[in-house]
Chain A
C-alpha cells in the first residue's frame, strides 16, 4: 500500500531506494519465480533446459574450435570446461542485462497504472539470470569432472563474481532502459554492441593467442576480468591478477551508481513520453 505521499519531499535517493527494495522483497521473489516458471513451463525439458542450453552452446563452440585449436590450451587447461565457463558467465551477463532493461521499457504499460518503482523489475530480472547461472554451474561441475579436472576449494568465491555481475547488469540495464524507451532503434545498436563485446571477451579463445594490441583491448573489457576470476576461483584454471579483482569490484560499483543516478534523472521525463 502506498502511504503518505508528498511529491515535494526531498529524501535521500539511495537509502530510500534500498529501503523500498527491501520492503518489496516479496514482490522480487515472486517476479523471479514467475520469470523462471513462465520461461520453462511450455518446454518439455522444463528446468533441465537451463542446464542444457549453455551445454549445447558450448558443444557447438567446442566442436568448431577443437578442430582448430588443440584440445588442451597451451598451459594444459582443458578446453571444454574453459568454454562452458565462458558461455555461462556471458549468458548471465547478456540475459540479465537485456531482460532487466526490457522489463522496464516493456513494462511501461503496467508502470503507468500501478505505482511500483521500476528498479524492482530490473533487480528481479537480474536475479533470475543469476539463478539460471547457478543452475548452469551444475553442468560445469559435471563437465569439469568428466575431463578429469577438479573443483577449486576457492569455488565459494564465485558468489562474489555473481554479486558484482548483478551490480553491473542492473546498472547498465537502468541506463539502457531509458534509451530503449526513448529511441526505437536503440535495440539494434545495443545488439551490435553486445556482439562486439562477446568477441572481445575470452570465451572460446585464450588471451595468449592474441597480439599484444588486441590483448590490451580485451583486458580493458571488464568482463574479461570477471571471467578470469570466475575460471580461477571455480576450477583453478588460468590466473586472476590483483588488477582483475580491483577492476571487477570497482566496475560493478561504479556502473551501478551511475545507472541508478542516470535513471533517477531521466525516469520522470521518460514516463510522460509514452
Chain B
C-alpha cells in the first residue's frame, strides 16, 4: 500500500488524430487495402512521474499545448492513460470546465440536480442542496427558469456554485479561480481557497504565476508533453521565468 494521495507513474497519453478524409468508412477501407495508415498519433504526454501527499498543492504550469489539461483529464478518470499507472486514494472532485453537461432547455434547478447526480450524489441529497446552491450563486429568483434565459455571468456563477458545493479529498482545478463580476470574483476565490485548505490534496493548472506562488507547495513544469521540471515552487518558478 502506498501512502500517497496521488501517484502517477510513467504515464503516456497518445491522441489519435485522423484527417477529415480518414473519418469515413470508404476512406478507411481504401487505406486498409493500400496498407497506409491515415491516423496520426500525437504524444500529448510522455513519461510523467509524480506523487502528491497529504496537504500538498501541486501546480502544473507550461505553455499552451504542453499537456496540462490532458493530465488533469487523466487524473479525473475521463481519459485512460495509454501507458503507465494512475492511483488516487480518496474522493475526487474534478473541476475541468465549468458548465459542462448543462442543458439549456432545463431550469437552473434541474441542471443543479442533474449535474450533482452526474457526479455521483443521490437525487435526494441534491434536492435539499438546491436552494443553498442557488442562494450562494445569487440566483434564487431565476432558479425555475430555463438556462437559455440566463446571462453568461449568471451561467458562470451557477456553474461555479455547482462545481464547488461539495467537499472532497482531492481537488482538480483547471484555471477557474475567480469568475463573474468583481464582487463574485472575490467570493468565488475565497470559496476556492477554503476548499483547497480543507482538502487532502489539490492539483491546479494556472497561467497566473502569482496564484501559483501563493498556493502551490510544489510545481510540475510541462513542456510539449514532457516533464521538464518537478520541485519546490520557488525553484521551478525561477527556472520557468528564466526560460
Show the binding face of A for B, using Cβ within 8 Å.
Answer: 1-8, 23-24, 26-27, 29-31, 34, 38, 41, 109-116, 182-186, 189, 268-269, 271-273
Contact = CB atoms under 8 A, between A and B. Distances in A.
Given A2-B91, A115-B76, 20 more contacts: A1-B93, A1-B120, A2-B76, A2-B92, A4-B88, A5-B92, A7-B81, A26-B123, A34-B110, A109-B100, A110-B101, A112-B73, A113-B96, A114-B96, A114-B118, A115-B78, A183-B25, A183-B28, A272-B13, A273-B15
B97 A5 contact: no
Contacts, number: 113
A113 B16 contact: no
A23 B118 CA distance: 11
A113 B98 CA distance: 9
B123 A4 contact: no
Nearest to A115: B77
Contacts of A6: 85-88
Given A109-B100, A112-B73, A30 B121 contact: no
Given A1-B93, A109-B100, A183-B25, A272 B123 contact: no
A153 to B, nearest CB: 37
B37 interface: no
Nearest to A267: B80
B88 A30 contact: no
B186 interface: no
B237 to A, nearest CB: 29
A74 B16 CA distance: 58
B235 interface: no
A26 B13 CA distance: 33
Given A4-B90, A183-B24, A183-B28, A110 B100 contact: yes
Contacts of A41: 105
B166 interface: yes
A24 B120 CA distance: 7
